[in-house]
Structure 1
């Protein structure tokens, strides 16, 4: 059996947290086409053929990155979502809750890196670097450079990064995390999910000789329609007494503001569980 080649850049198990199970639909807005519509399945939403396929040693590999994502970032997604929902209800901060929040922080670290936009920009930047000195290279080095870009004959992106390795490196540099869980006050408010699973921001939280180097210090993740999580590096705060977690009940205006940020930054699409909310939100923008 051939492995599937339609790969999600927002995990399908994540998108399903925004699926309307009663109506069997998820509501989508395309800001480029300025069109709202619904889908009855999440299989083709926020996905692209061969997104995670890579070309190595003359062979196309559709499987290894998908397996890495499933094993490390997806298979426990639903279970950890339930842990966070229970915590929101009972406010009992346990080691299990801390572990679940850490799981989602690591998932969020690679959120943007998984998107077609990020992969294309990264590959274009690498190609530009090599192009600048290609004409001055020895024949042997030219051959090696050409081999680096052989993937373009078979797949869309180089996909050279290991998500597990890069996640652990970034996570360690962030230090202790402070978690903020945001919950809409109104039953008629809903968080949207954009076409990137999480956003990040960089700040100077570690000391380097090069003062321009910044590390990821903030992660922003819509977990489901009624739960949004923000992760802050403790290094952003001078006060050592900052709590492990904060629960914030959001006004309609704050929910709208968060959704607007994700709409502005998304490449072209957002999705929502509630059709009426999405219509109202879009008409206000």
Structure 2
């Protein structure tokens, strides 16, 4: 072979080697599945993963999530009843407006108590279909207008918000209800549960806070409670969402979840996603003895 032929062959070999090396570099640097952030559950629900060790822990109640079955993805509001409940507290009688939906079927799996934020009321849970959904899942759902809000004209006065919530649960004849507590209602749910953190599970089977207020008041109490807690907040809630998470994550049996495309009232901004979270949490809690 002539020298020119040898030169051409060497050039071809170098070109082939260069192409191979380039492909290898691109392959190694390309953001494949193994290099993407861990933001998905093994199920269909997006999970919030913080950088710290505590924030990425597995709660004892957590298991793989499932989709809501198609036959209970929607329900009519005609079974939701408006009921005035009389709550006696410190010798004072308060008339509290509630919306209640009894479970379909003969048995109640769980009692679920829905509170609300400062600019909201029990009507929000009606409007997004939560009460009817919960009843179709076999649970009893009760949404309340807290004192001085919505259709409840009576105010709390000097009574403790935590004591009021305990008296309300008793008046509603609820048994260790799962408490869903957004924003302002944290002023009621947090003292109800964590003024005596060691016995929180005697009063509630599970806690689902949605960026509640006043979480910093109970930071020393959280470690003493084992109550199953699903911490929920909207991905765009950089105020109460992030600040409450830093406190609530100290609950030993808690796990955080972020609702995509949602702000502070995450359950209203993205109700379908919130309902998937709620469906799984209630199912898991109901299965526990």
Task: Output the TM-score relative to the length of structure 1.
Answer: 0.23
Q: Greater CA radius of gyration, 1 or 2?
A: 2
Greater relative contact order (Cα < 8 A, sep 6+): 1
Structure number with the higher strand fraction is: 1
